[in-house]
Structure 1
Amino acid sequence: MNSRDTLEQMMFTPEFKQNPYPVYEKLRASNPIFKQFFPNGHYGWIISKYEDAVEVLKDQRFIKDIAKVSSIEQTSVIGKNMLFSDLPDHKRLRGFVQKGFTPQIIAGKREHIQKIADDLLDAVSAGHTMNLIDDYAFHLPIIVICEILGIPTEDREKFRSWSNSIIEASFEERSREASLQAQDEFVEYLRERFAIVRENPGDDLISQLVVADETGDQLSEGELYGVVTLLIIAGHETTVNLIGNGVLALLEHPEQREQLIQHPEYIHGAIEEMLRYNGPVEFSTARWASEDLAFKGHMIQKNDLVIVALDSANRDPERFSQPDVFDISRGKSQHLAFGKGIHLCLGAPLARLEGEIAINTLLRRFPKLELQANIADLEWRPGMLVRGVKELPLSI
């Protein structure tokens, strides 16, 4: 397991994407912190154990702002947001948007999200089959985030295309051109949208951000694009894959599915287990060592890239009993699906609520649903960041 070639061969293959957990198990046991050569030509450290992951995610010596790393060129036009910033900028940028995601506001959306779920399932109920991702899992969260931001929901397919190009490019150099084009198109769309909002602001979150920008209240033009783009992408990507991976886990474990059908009140614990067992975000976004430092016996050099394997950490037997067992009665387990520390996902409560409503409604409406494909034949989305299937064909 110490061969660089072997690690590359194992971690960047379709077989790994199909089922990375046997590889993670071996890495945690023999090489939990290792330097990897990525397809874009850069080396970086991968952290695979839970306790190590928590330390990295909370240690502010591992910074998020790539502009502070002199050896790396900043090329993203949408990178000025909370996810890619450090204190004090992170706190300032997060403060602009967190007022739109308070517990009270999220709880107040329950009935509306329920109606969206019912309407989407009404649309497929006349048939005998559905594609869970295209017919349901994608539309529910993108409709919700578009409404929060005040963006026409009919534009959601554009966001899906742009989001896929940006997210799935990850560290793969061959996808770089498509990703940059998607970013440019995204920014041009937002430029036109902001112009409309400035003429006629409403009570949506984009209007609040644009008004704050016009009054000179700290948001730069680049930050405005970066924050809104992040909200659109992160506002649906996590939930899409939570629903897809969660339903797939239930289909693989029929006794757990039956338990949830009989006891829909178990959904809270079930969502936490879905997030832990096969989480929607496989790797963290990049961090960079701000100084030379010793970490668990390894010398990490200033400007080194550091990535946390979140899905590996969530299967660490030193933290979770029987980690490879899917058990919806496990309860809340301090998994890392939404990160840790100051970058803990702002939209986690909304994603949980959307997942709970989406999955319980699906099971109530179609308790006999079955997978219409071999699990081994399912195609997983490319790139390092997200973990989710492209399609999930079901009979209903």
Structure 2
Amino acid sequence: MNKLKEYINSHELSEIHPSDIAKILKQLDDKDFAEAIQLVPKDLVGDVALALPDRYFDDVVESLSVDELSHAVTELESDDQLEFMQELGEVDKGVASQVFDTLHEDDRLEITKLQTYDEDEAGRYMQLEVFTAFRDEIVQDVIERFAALRKANELENVQNLFIVSKDNKLRYTVGLDNLLIFDFSKTLKENIAESGDSFEPKKAYDRDEIKDVVHTFEEYDLSVMPIINAYGILVGRITSDDIYDLIIEHATEQMYNLAGVDDEAEEDDEIVKAGRKRATWLSLNLLTAIAASFVIAMFSDALESMVALAVLMPIVASMGGNAGTQSLTVVVRQLALGDISQGDAMRIIKKEIALSLGNGIFFAIIMGLIAALWFDMRMLGVVIALSMIINLLMAGFFGATIPLFLKKMDIDPAIGSTVILTTITDVVGFFSFLGLATYILL
């Protein structure tokens, strides 16, 4: 806690960053945390709360009064206000309702407006605070107005001026760097006409899917994007910091899904909830393991007559599983990044099959020689070599087709892919190895 005091006392309020405070708070125990949160400047409490992991939000709520929480919300931008109120509602609906009732009418209207959008719509993530001007305004007047808004702290993180018509329809987007080299004595319209540059805005609709907006940000390396409604009226903006958070959130969700765990449950401190989610996937994995065991049981006589088969059998399944996971991970990630189009399926499948087949042949030769020398059985080397080629070939094929199929069915490719693939590579690996061994060796 002393470290937090030193940090706050040694910095001007304008120099304090919420993330730096959050780092210090995360190092404290529950008792010190409750005292330390009171030291945080009231204007920054909301930003600090959102910078902390979700599990700390309960402690923030318990440590602050309704008035303090209300002030924290007031100091946030509209999109962050919505996020804060959502998390507050998850912690305590009663307190959230009290805080909402104490907010200024404008804040309540903005939060309510953003709540009308679905979780997957761009409008849900936009800021309603935008800097606009009309085409016939003098540049000098626009800059003076912007300076006044910044000094009053009514605008933050502004990179672009949005030029609108009298009915608030978006016409142009001008970066502040371009605005500074305009002729200050002329109108925006005159400067745009004389510059010869294109100021056509790269925009999105409020009902567009947010994942498409994320891809546009990545594709064009944008810092901000204006959001319009179906009538072309400017309703807000989405900034790169929000997009960055969404990218991290989606990447984390995919990693958790590939591992068969739930991202929301893992971020919570409730062990029972997280354990129940994990148990669901482990139960499914148990069923798939039993299926693989049935395949092994079919060849119990072969295993009893040749111990070498039991020794080598896990190698085939393991190599297939790892090769399939490589293909699966690559395809899932490329789908998430939008690098695979609808007509790309065959190209991806052919590529993964070729890679898996090439690796299959290479490692089949190596393992075949090792098995032949190890057990002094030439044909045993042939059996495991053929089995590895078959299994790695199937691993590459299914590692590519499973996520592509799930995507076509409008299911997140990361969900369930690993369990399905592991089942296939285990069953194919055991069946091909033991089947070939029974046919060739016994």
* TM-score, scaled to structure 2: 0.27
* TM-score, scaled to structure 1: 0.30
Which structure has the higher relative contact order (CA within 8 Å, separation 6+)?
1
Q: 1 or 2, which has the higher helix percentage?
A: 2
Asked which structure has the greater CA Rg, the reply is 2
